[in-house]
Amino acid sequence: MKPFFLGSEDIKRYVAQGRFVVAVYGLGGVGLAVAAVWLRHGARVIGVDVDRGKVDMIDDGEVPHPEGVVRDSVRAGLREGRFKATYDGVWASRNADIMDVIVPLVYGSEGPDFSALDSAVGNVAKGLSRGDVVIIETSLPPGTTEGRVREVLEGVSGLVAGEDFGLIYSPERVMVGHAVEDIEVRYPKIVSGIGARSLEVGEAIYSLMCRAGVVKVSSPRVAEFEKLAEGVYRDVNIALANELARLSRLLGVDFDEVIEAANSQPYSHIHRPGVGVGGLCIPVYPRLLEWVAESLGVRLELVSLARGVNDFQPMYISSLVAEGLSMLGSNIRGSRVALLGDAFRGDVGVTTLTPTHVIARSLMNMGAEVVVHDPYVKRDEYLSRAGARLSSDLRESLAGCEAVVVSTDHSIYKELSTCDILDMCSRSGVVIVDGKHVLRVERCGGRVLYTGSGRPWTRL
């Protein structure tokens, strides 16, 4: 019996008993975590990805994911014969009961790039059978599931969403590094569907896996908008923090102290400033909403301004390096600068839209020699093309540097003090721009000129 025609309790039982096959389209950081959760709750899983090298690697038990629970779950699935990876999306659809699509959607010069989504949905449609269930988890511009996705599924298969098969939109709400916990424990699952039956099926599936519960919304358009609104909220508030932090530094005020005092008021929730915003989520979601708004003849003024503030932040951080070196009587041209952290977020090895790239490019445009340290990133083609060196050796990266920028909040950097960095640089004086406020600030005999995002220059 196919899931779309089963009652809620039977759906849960069939998943737990391994009687359903789930095809997960997209084996990135989120997709692998989603596959692991399906496996942990009893389903048989086919993982689908266009990267044949990744498919072969996963089938050999090499699971490229930072979470141990994901690696262990997928490997257990391989041993037990409950998991297989493939690059044949049509075959996966023909052999699955539930198709879960979580491929990336990027924003390019011409707007959203739907190519990965179109390819995955097209393959699903070619293998779609009556009674199957299709779930879309990719973050999308409002209206995409009801329009673009539904049209392809129905047009290719000849079936009708909400009558012959289930079509559910349920956006992922995870952070790679603790994604399984986010799905199973931390956050409620937003669920919508085409027709009442799709919504019922979605509620049954996710009430089995998500202990924080299910939030049902009236349409996929609501769910799509909700997911983007979450990211835009953060982007706007980070931009506010970055602007206030710039002023705070000029006033000679530590913005961390301002935040702590202000947020003691329950209606204030000022975010932390930083070096910029990276990843495939927060920098992209405002662009997706702007794209939709423009198609309706509306301009999202605040959203656009906030994105501009955060886009500028890496250049602002670079300007602090030049300012600090000037205060020490040095010129940035010819100076050696170390950036601590290439990843866009701490303790992961992902460099997608990382602010570090912009900082590195800006510094090199000013004539600096740049070395980037990161313990998680083994290769970065962008840095190679730009002429910056990437290293996993901290001492080697810092040796001889006149300035250091902390651009990622990796845990290992939280163990460092300003004096530790001075010692490893082996210079008479060093400029430190602590963009993430993670270093232990210690006095170093006046040999360190220190600042942070929202902190005044201080001789330590």
Any idea which residues carry the catalytic annotation?
Answer: 281
Residue 178 · residue 67 · CB < 8 Å: yes
Side-chain half-sphere exposure of 1, counting CA atoms within 13 A: 10
- DSSP β-bridge partners for residue 430: 448
**Rounded Cα distance, 145 and 123, in Å:** 16
**What amino acid occupies position 114?**
F
3-state secondary structure of 296: coil
3-state secondary structure of 79: helix
Q: Where are the alpha helices (DSSP H) in 88-143?
A: 89-94, 115-127
359 closest CA partner among 274, 301, 437, 245: 274
**Rounded Cα distance, 141 and 289, in Å:** 6
In three state form, how does the secondary structure of 176-234 look?
A: CCCHHHHHHHHCCEEEEECCHHHHHHHHHHHHHHCCCCEEECCCHHHHHHHHHHHHHHH
Residue 105 · residue 116 · CB < 8 Å: yes
User: Which residues are CB-contacts of 348 (< 8 A; sequence separation ≥ 6)?
Assistant: 29, 66, 176, 177, 376
